[in-house]
Amino acid sequence: MRVLVSHCDHRPFEVERFGAAWARAGGEEGELVFVTPSTVAGPAPPQAVFDGLLLTSGPDVEPWRFGAEPEPGVELHLDPPRDALDLALLRRAALDSWPVLAVCYGCQLLAVSAGGTVIQDLERAGRAGHRVPEPKDHLAHDVIVTGEARFLAPAGGRFAVNSRHHQGVGVPGDGMAAVASAPDGVIEAIEPETGDRFVLGVQWHPENLSQQVHVALFRSFRSACLQRAGGRG
C-alpha cells in the first residue's frame, strides 16, 4: 500500500509530523510517499499506483479559485503551485477512487474543489479564538460532530481539538456537507453527502495530537486505504 502525502516545498517538517501520526495509528514505514510541487514528478508520475491521498496544511487558498477577490486588510500567504498540485491530486483521487484525508488548508481546498468557498479571515468575520499556534497540541476548543457523520467518529459526539488557522470553510461545496463545527459555528469537518469512498476534511491538526479520538482518525483513513489496496490487487 502507498499513500500520497502533499505538502509545501518550504514545510519539510510535515514529513516528520505526519510520519509520527501515521506510526501512532499503526502505519508502517514506507507506506507514505511525500510530494511537493517541485518533487511530485519523481515519486508520483501519472502512471504510478496509489491507494490514498493525504493533504497537509500550509498556505491560504487563492481567492480567485472560489470566485472572490482578496479582502482589503487581510494578509494572505499564498502558494499557487501547491493549490494547483492538490487540486490535480484531488481530481486524480476521484477518478481512481482513492480515500482522502485533508487537514486544515487541505480541508479548505477540498471544499473549493467541490465549488465551495473559504472565509478569508475568521476574526474579521467575528469568529476569534481559532488561531492558537503554540503549543501545537494545545486544545483550543471543542468540536461538535453531527449525527450524519460517517467517516468522522464519534458521530454525534463532542471532543477537544487544537486550532491554528485564520481561515475556514464558508460553503462546503456541491455534494459536500459540514459534519462538525466549533461552538461558535465555524465549520470543523466536511464529508461527501453520499457515497462509500472515505473522504474527510478536518480543520484542526490531528497530526499533533495523541488522544485516541485523533489517532483513530488516521487509523480509519489507513483502513480505507488498505481496503482500497486489497480490492486493487
For the chain, the three-class secondary structure string (H helix, E strand, C coil) is CCEEEECCCCCCCHHHHHHHHHHHCCCCCCCEEEECCCCCCCCCCCCCCCCEEEECCCCECCHHHHCCCCCCCCCCCECHHHHHHHHHHHHHHHHHCCCEEEECHHHHHHHHHCCCEEECCCCCCCCCCCECCCCCCCCCEEEEECCCCCCCCCCCCEEEECCECCCEEEECCCCEEEEEECCCCCEEEEEECCCCCCEEEECCCHHHCCCHHHHHHHHHHHHHHHHHHHHHC
Q: What is the C-alpha to C-alpha distance for residues 1 and 154, in angstroms, rounded to an integer?
A: 27
pLDDT given for residue 44 in this prediction: 75
Q: What residues make up the domain containing 43?
A: 3-232
45 CB-near residues (< 8 Å, 6+ apart): none
Q: Return the axis-axis angle of helices 212-232 and 14-24, rounded to nearest 10°.
A: 90
Q: What is the C-alpha to C-alpha distance for residues 208 and 45, in angstroms, rounded to an integer?
A: 30
pLDDT greater than 70 at residue 233: no
- Average pLDDT on 108-112 reads 98
**Among 42-51, 66-75, 105-114, 167-176, whose mean pLDDT is lowest?**
42-51
What CATH number should be reported for the domain holding residue 225?
3.40.50.880
pLDDT greater than 80 at residue 46: no
67 CB-near residues (< 8 Å, 6+ apart): 117
pLDDT given for residue 17 in this prediction: 97
Matching residue, cell 486493487: 232
C-alpha 84, offset from chain centre: 15
What's the predicted TM-score (pTM) here?
0.97
Number of domains within the chain: 1
- Average pLDDT on 103-111 reads 98
List pLDDT tens digits, range 147-168.
999 999 888 999 999 999 999 9
Q: Give the pLDDT band (50/70/90) at residue 42.
A: confident
Which grid coordinates belong to 159? 471532543
Q: What percent of the chain has pLDDT over 70?
A: 99
- Average pLDDT on 105-132 reads 96
List pLDDT tens digits, range 3-40.
999 999 999 999 999 999 999 999 998 999 999 999 98
pLDDT given for residue 165 in this prediction: 96
Mean pLDDT computed over every residue of the chain: 95
Catalytic positions, written as ranges: 104, 205, 207
Q: What is the C-alpha to C-alpha distance for residues 111 and 175, in angstroms, rounded to an integer?
A: 10
Q: How many C-beta atoms surround the C-beta of residue 106 within 10 A?
A: 24
